[in-house]
Amino acid sequence: MKKIFSFLITGMITLSLSACGTGYSKTTFKTTEQNDPATTKIPSEPRSSSNESTNTQSAKETSLIVYFSWSGNTELVAQEIQTQTGADIFEIVPAVPYSDDYNTVVDLAQKEQKENARPEIENTIKNLDQYDTVYVGYPNWWGDMPMILYTFFDTYDLSNKTILPFCTSGGSGLSNTISEISSLEPNATVVNGLHIEDSHLNTIADNVKTWLAEKEE
Ligand SMILES: Cc1cc2nc3c(=O)[nH]c(=O)nc-3n(C[C@H](O)[C@H](O)[C@H](O)COP(=O)(O)O)c2cc1C
């Protein structure tokens, strides 16, 4: 089931988060066709993209894609990264599912941010040690990562790993999420993040390709 989310541009509506410094208004985003979060697959642990034995570990088996996606955009990027890298993939699943209703989620996300909440994650990564590189994907929520990403970084120690952040948004870009991740994981190497706007999802493959090539340089 597909769902259309309309973000009407009304400019002066009162819901702007300017008081919080994000510049985000829940009325300023464009129409985007997005996946229904209720239909998103929920792996309990990373799905290996390979049939090869883990005894003969190849480069791709040392990479893991971790992502959270409410309406499917970030998931599309995660899947494209998997297609291009062969990395394993793990979806962060909230223990308490977010509502399918856009306004409800927008309000709850704002509340969670104000309260510095740590929403519980339903599933766990059991074999994080085997990965050197961790791609971490999230939507921009109110000018920041969703608070469940903070739960993720609190839960897992990514010291000595390389983190490649990727983010989708309605126009805010990565905001300060890269420096935030760097301070949450001070002993990791955090490389330049990939950002894709939710109105440019048709460029995912090219953007991922360019980003991965830059990382190799
Ligand atoms: C709760 C909520 C807050 C959002 N806050 C912002 C924001 O501050 N800036 C922005 O550019 N887009 C914002 N958006 C739009 C999303 O970042 C964008 O549509 C993203 O691609 C959604 O990713 P997903 O489909 O993986 O959930 C917000 C969307 C939601 C649901």
Q: What is the pLDDT of residue 216?
A: 76
pLDDT tens figures, 57-104: 455 579 999 999 999 999 999 999 999 999 999 999 999 999 999 999
pLDDT value, residue 24: 56
This prediction has a pTM of 0.82
Q: Beta 88-91 vs 63-67: how paired, if at all?
A: parallel
> Domain limits of the chain?
37-216
pLDDT at residue number 174: 98
Percent residues over pLDDT 70 in the chain? 71
Q: How far is the CA of 192 from the centre of ligand 1 (A)?
A: 20
What 3-state class would DSSP assign to 35? strand
pLDDT tens column, 100-119: 999 999 999 999 999 999 99
Ligand 1 atom 8, closest CA: 142
User: What is the 212 CA–ligand 1 centroid distance (Å)?
Assistant: 23
Q: What are the respective helix, strand and coil percentages of the chain, to the nearest 5?
A: 35, 20, 45
Best substitution site from 81, 198, 199 to test ligand 1's pocket, by max atoms within 8 Å of Cβ? 198
Mean pLDDT confidence for 161-172: 97
The ligand 1 atom at the shortest distance from the C-alpha of residue 67 is 26
Average pLDDT of 169-176? 97
Percentage of the chain with pLDDT > 90? 71
- For the ranges 2-16, 67-81, 105-119, 197-211, which has the lowest average pLDDT? 2-16
Mean pLDDT of the chain: 81
**CATH code of domain 37-216:** 3.40.50.360
d(CA 87, CA 97): 26
CA–CA distance, 217 with 210 (Å, rounded to integer): 11
Using a 6 Å cutoff on CB, does residue 29 contact ligand 1? yes
Ligand 1 centre from 21 Cα, in Å? 16
Q: Whose CA is nearest to atom 3 of ligand 1?
A: 141
Give the model's pLDDT for residue 215: 81
Query: For the purposes of burial, counting CB atoms within 10 Å of the CB of 104, is it exposed (0-12), middle (13-18) or buried (19 or more)?
Result: exposed
pLDDT value of residue 25:
59
Which atom of ligand 1 is least distant from the CA of 196? 21
Q: Answer yes or no: is the C-beta of 177 below 6 A from any ligand 1 atom.
A: no
